Structure 1
Amino acid sequence: MIELAKSHLKKVLELCGANRNCEYYPCHFDGQVCLWCFCPFYPCEDEELGEYIKRRDGTKIWSCVKCHWVHREEVATEILKEILSLTKNNSIDEGLQLLDDRELMLKIKDKIKAKYPNR
């Protein structure tokens, strides 16, 4: 394998697999899929997946520290499929603008969660 291909494959494996090289790994559970290190549904406000917690200053923030759902392989893959199907005919910037629609993103979450419930 040529070096450019190896370098690219390393990035893909770090992104799509269990990135044991990450200083925060595992942030949820051992063997987690790290593709959605930053959840595209945040804050989902789904109480099966997370909860509001108080910060030191008394304000509330959504915490998904107990969420394992988005890091399961089948769920992470399904999220990617949905996003790619919506954005395949757009430039990256157009795709990001489309996915900036919170209602759309929560519909994607609900569709996938119906197929792969939180367990």
Structure 2
Amino acid sequence: MATIEVDFEVFKELTVRRESESMTENDVIRLLLGLDDQASKPTAGNEMTGGNPWVCKGVAFPHGTEFRATYKGQMYTGLVAKGALVVQGKRFTSPSSAAVSITGNPVNGWRFWECLLPGEKHWKVIAELRN
């Protein structure tokens, strides 16, 4: 098995994007590169829906939901894992607190973030999901 060297920031992002304890960093990279699963492992809890959803203001974001936002020309990403939104290695309980961690200013996170729900093809501003 070949070895690659990554910096700490890349390692943290790979760790955040692991969908379950059984998912390896290699699995994350394969997913990001759009490669087929090496050996489709039918292990319990390895599916995108295997973890706890993150519920905020009555909206349930399933485990594996991806988040993205652009601020000052830079793309920021997040992922729902273990019942919380994880951005830059930190867990958040609201979209606004995650947005403030990026901007340093008060921000309406419901308009700041877009999400891609598991199994979907189109990103949505998360405010559209509120009733």
Larger Rg, first or second structure (1 or 2): 1
Higher relative contact order (CA 8 A, sep 6+): 1
The structure where strand makes up a greater share of residues is 2
The structure where helix makes up a greater share of residues is 1
User: TM-score of the superposition, structure 2-length normalised?
Assistant: 0.31
User: TM-score of the superposition, structure 1-length normalised?
Assistant: 0.33
